[in-house]
Amino acid sequence: MKKFTAIMLAFCCFSLATQLLAQNRDFGRGEVKVTIPESYDENRAAPLIVLLHGYTSSGANQDGYMGFSELADDYGFLLVAPDGTQEAGGNRSRFWNASEACCNFYASEVDDVAYIKGIIDSMKQDYNVDPARVYLIGHSNGGFMSYRMAYEHSDSIAAIASLAGASHAGNREAPSSPVHILQIHGTADATIAYQGGEIRENRYPGAMGSVTQWAAYNGCETQGEAREIRDLDASLPGHESGVMKFEIGCKAGGSSELWTISAGSHVPPLSDTFAEQVVEWLYAHPKAGIGSAD
């Protein structure tokens, strides 16, 4: 009987451990999948990545496209991929209330900044999150939202990576704290133009405009330097993407960088190493002055 009890106890512990690897959490708008790496140790701080989907998509679909949850075990990060709210009309598509241009088309008063900040705060409360490694990754509308979060909560976000998104239009004062910025954009993007444009008469800056804006915010020299080329798009031959870095003279914890996918589309077929390249870039850009990264 004692042996049977021990076996059952071990089985229950194993089942609990397995369940902890992928949990559903309610951050105030219904259940959201949270990915926990197998190596997670409550005594060791782990990076947190919040993945923000594009207009009409969902957190699950965005992760299916980009594949970041598949890397959580290898890199040891916590991952949350939430859903935006649904529109009041039309196709009731999911969206983030990110900027005047994108993509609150029905004048919703939803406060997505507070919602996403609440996710970050809740994860910090329930898990040992490294305060120096809180990151956002966004595609399209999610990229716009990532920029907004970086601007409004620069004190707690280390870096963002935006694929086919854009920063806000117009001149503003610099945020209170530097944030590392990575913009990834295809020159053939027909939805969010690489050179910038407008949606329903609301302008948004181009890829270069977004990164130079943040280079200035971060105190960097706004004359960038071309560096290595990368393979980001599986449909294009070779290493098709150029890299422009703005990292000279920056305030501690700030930089700006552009990866340009030559002839890349709005939803490019991602290379096998795309997600790894983004995660490794994020890991190389922790927050300065609010805790030490492991």
107 φψ region: left (φ > 0), alpha (ψ -120 to 50), beta (else)? left
Domain that holds residue 174: 21-283
- Please answer whether residues 236 and 263 qualify as being in contact, where contact means their C-beta atoms are separated by less than 8 angstroms: yes
- Please answer whether residues 141 and 116 qualify as being in contact, where contact means their C-beta atoms are separated by less than 8 angstroms: no
Q: Decide: helix, strand or coil at residue 128.
A: coil
Question: Is 291 part of any domain?
Answer: no
Question: Is 142 part of any domain?
Answer: yes
What phi and psi, each to the nearest 5 degrees, are found at residue 207? -60, -50
pTM, to two decimals:
0.92
Amino acid at the residue 234: A
Question: Is 2 part of any domain?
Answer: no
CA–CA separation, 34 vs 68, rounded Å?
Answer: 12
Question: Is 146 part of any domain?
Answer: yes
Average pLDDT over every residue of 138-152: 98
Amino acid at the residue 105: F
- Please answer whether residues 248 and 174 qualify as being in contact, where contact means their C-beta atoms are separated by less than 8 angstroms: no
pLDDT reported for residue 16? 40
pLDDT reported for residue 125? 97
- Please answer whether residues 251 and 178 qualify as being in contact, where contact means their C-beta atoms are separated by less than 8 angstroms: yes
Residue from 184, 180, 231 nearest 207 by CA? 184
Number of domains composing the chain: 1
Q: What is the pLDDT of residues 66-123, one digit of tens each?
A: 999 999 999 999 999 999 999 999 999 999 999 999 999 999 999 999 999 999 999 9
Q: Mean pLDDT for the chain? A: 92
pLDDT reported for residue 208? 98
Question: Is 10 part of any domain?
Answer: no
- Please answer whether residues 126 and 145 qualify as being in contact, where contact means their C-beta atoms are separated by less than 8 angstroms: no
What phi and psi, each to the nearest 5 degrees, are found at residue 171? -90, 135
Which residues make beta-bridge pairs with 124? none
- Please answer whether residues 206 and 195 qualify as being in contact, where contact means their C-beta atoms are separated by less than 8 angstroms: yes
- Helices (H), strands (E): how many in the chain? 7, 14
Question: Is 201 part of any domain?
Answer: yes
Residue from 172, 252, 250, 257 nearest 212 by CA? 257
* Chain centre distance of CA 136: 3
Question: Is 51 part of any domain?
Answer: yes
CATH number for position 244: 3.40.50.1820
Question: Is 7 part of any domain?
Answer: no
User: How big, in percent rounded to 5, are the helix, strand and coil portions of the chain?
Assistant: 30, 25, 45
Q: What is the DSSP letter of 71?
A: G
Q: What is the pLDDT of residues 258-294, one digit of tens each?
A: 999 999 999 999 999 999 999 999 999 999 987 655 5
